[in-house]
Chain A
Amino acid sequence: MAFVRKEFHHIFRDKMTMLILLVMPLLMLVLFGYALNTEVKNSKFAVYDPSHDEATRAIVEKLQINNYFILQKMLKSQAEVDAVFKTGEVAMVVVFSENFYENLLHGGKAQIQLIADGSDPNTASVITTYASTIMGNYQLELLKVGKIPYQIFPEVKLLYNPSMVAAYNFVPGVMGMIILLICAMMTSISIAREKETGTMEILLVSPMKPLYVILSKAVPYFFLSIVNLFTILAISVFVMGVPIAGSFFWLIILSLLYIFVSLALGLLISSVVNTQMAAMLISAMGLMMPVMLLSGMLFPTENMPLFLQLISDVIPAKWYILAVKKIMIKGLGAEAIILELIVLAVMAIALISISLRKFKIRLE
């Protein structure tokens, strides 16, 4: 159909936008993959150990075996703790209480203090979590000494392979975001552009059905999103090493449904705005921000206050990301994502019917 061809012309002739649309997924993957990586490796730490006994030595050794921590120096007094942080030599200081081993054996209670630099809260929380886990494992080992001494260690490694965990988290997130961005934002902008240039008026005067006008707008972005979907999947599988554990078929079905929801959202936006600027702002503020912050892409929704959780429930990206994680990472089958599929389908139907009703056949 001539009209769909025209839409492709619009996109292909606008080289800049085209480039952005195709490169953006790559940039986002790189950005989230490397720049925002929460992985902490080779963190330097110092130890203040007044007891200097069997247990403390063992713990310090355990910390060092990992490639997460490097022992920078032993401190001689409590006062030195402040000093090492000020110079920035270390990211964490481990302080043992006096008579550590004895307290552990007799009282069953011994104190370790983990001090980290809170000015970088993310890193601080990650390294202290690592450290406490390692110590927790030592404690377990103490209890089970002689029986099954090495059983715990491999588990630690699996759980705390940070680059894997990070990629698992952000690949579904990036997919959810890119698709929403292209479908919702680009569709609404392109319709708003026709309103601005006055061509929309001509189209509405013509015998062409408004529905066709809108649908043919959506077609090229539909294809672009699919191209991007495969780019993201290819990179995450072959470069980032994130496997597609579950059914590829259902992953694609799920994604098509989500693309549909996003297109419907774009149409809805375009029916309420008249300028490209407004379309851009609404998409950026109304879609990007909530998706980044509330969809569970960067921050888990479980820890949010109830009302934010409720908001996150109406964000399509949240459901999509959840379902992608289930299929792609956990390798679950279609039956595991029935809820997500239903929610997305309901959203799609609701959005389409609202936007079709809102779309004005007559310009007022």
Chain B
Amino acid sequence: MNQLETISADNVIVVRDLTKKFGNFTAVDHISFEVGKGEIFGFLGANGAGKTTAMRMLCGLSKQTSGQAWVAGFDIAKEAESIKKCIGYMSQKFALYEDLEVWENIRLYAGIYGVPDKEIAPKTDELLHRLGFEKERNALVKSLPLGWKQKLAFSVAIFHQPKIVFLDEPTGGVDPSTRRQFWELIYQAADQGITVFVTTHYMDEAEYCNRVTIMVDGRIDALDTPKNLKENFDAKNMDEVFHHLARNAKRND
């Protein structure tokens, strides 16, 4: 089979038998899946299941041991530089510069992604308005509450209108209501046609995704819509689905 055939216009991410080994330890074990354009794709798993490692390979931060993957039509092994231009990334630490002001952070990242100078200022105003952050424009990031930083970090990650945004456990450490507000931003982004690839270990978030994969011990044990998953496993919610699968896990953390 010609691998390239699977890269249709609808699939922005295609993964085939992707594997990552650290010595004898297989962090990601032959995973395969596709993600469609504009989809919110959830990547679930306990800590240590291999979520972050898989995502880092797709972002070009880590090199696969074997297997192949295409992101936005580019081969992750050979065309990492092209991929970098059309993705956004937000890590667990939602890394903003704490000692820079809000607008300086926006300008910095916009500049790094090559957004033209003329566009930066009006887009910054618009963004701050949408988030309700006008007053905090000149505040240092370290003075903001955690939930605000996360929203800002997400907005900065999609400021350059990437095709795909990768979110690595973006909502760690905040309460469910703040998480819900954050997910409204994710839906807005998806409406604009940005594909969202999100890892999480909060099961309530899994319900918000279009499709969900559940990783156990580096493998993908389930991949479907939240609704189908619940039916297949005869579960009331995603939490039960997850526990059903995770029971067989050998790795604990």
A residues adjacent to B (C-beta < 8 A): 2-3, 6, 9-10, 13-14, 197-199, 201-208, 362-364
Contacts and interface: CB of A to CB of B under 8 A. Distances in A.
Contacts of B63: 362, 364
Contacts of A201: 61, 89, 91, 93, 95
Given A3-B112, A198-B92, A207-B84, A14 B61 contact: no
| Interface residues of chain A: helix, strand, loop or mixed (majority) | helix
Contact of A206 (B62, B94, B107, B112): B112
B91 A13 contact: no
Interface of B: 56, 59-63, 81, 84-85, 87, 89-100, 104, 107-109, 111-114, 140, 166
Given A6-B100, A201-B61, A206-B113, 4 more contacts: A6-B104, A13-B99, A198-B92, A204-B61
A6 B98 CA distance: 12
Nearest to A200: B95
B113 A198 contact: no
Contact of B91 (A2, A6, A202, A206): A202
27 contacts: A2-B108, A3-B111, A6-B97, A6-B104, A6-B108, A9-B99, A9-B100, A9-B104, A10-B97, A10-B99, A13-B99, A197-B98, A198-B92, A198-B93, A198-B95, A199-B95, A201-B93, A202-B95, A205-B59, A206-B113, A207-B85, A207-B113, A362-B60, A362-B62, A363-B56, A364-B62, A364-B63
Contacts of B113: 206-207
Contacts of A3: 108, 111-112
A14 B95 contact: no
Nearest to A10: B99
Contacts of A363: 56, 61-62
B50 to A, nearest CB: 15
Contacts of B94: 198
The 10 closest A-B pairs by CB, nearest first: A198-B93, A2-B111, A198-B95, A199-B95, A205-B89, A207-B84, A13-B99, A207-B85, A206-B112, A202-B95
A202 B63 CA distance: 17
A198 B114 CA distance: 21
A166 B252 CA distance: 64
A20 to B, nearest CB: 16
Given A205-B84, A206-B84, A198 B99 contact: no
Contacts of A199: 95-97
Nearest to B92: A198
B104 A207 contact: no
B238 to A, nearest CB: 28
Nearest to A360: B61
A208 B110 CA distance: 11
A14 B99 contact: yes
Nearest to B100: A9
Nearest to B87: A205
Contacts of A197: 93, 95, 97-98
Contacts of A204: 61
Contacts of B104: 6, 9
B112 A203 contact: yes
Contacts of B114: 207
Nearest to A204: B61
Contacts of A9: 99-100, 104
A275 B109 CA distance: 23
A291 to B, nearest CB: 30
Best-surrounded residue of A10, A207, A208 (most CB of chain B within 10 A): A207
Nearest to B59: A205
Nearest to B105: A6
Contact of A198 (B62, B91, B100, B108): B91
A2 B112 contact: yes
Nearest to B96: A199
Contacts of B99: 9-10, 13-14
A262 B3 CA distance: 49
Nearest to B56: A363
A199 B84 CA distance: 15
Nearest to B84: A207
B135 to A, nearest CB: 20
A13 B98 CA distance: 11
B95 A2 contact: no
A189 to B, nearest CB: 14
A287 to B, nearest CB: 26
A10 B60 CA distance: 27
Nearest to B98: A197
Contacts of A13: 99-100, 140
A62 to B, nearest CB: 64
Best-surrounded residue of A198, A205, A207, A363 (most CB of chain B within 10 A): A205
Contacts of A2: 107-108, 111-112
Nearest to B166: A205
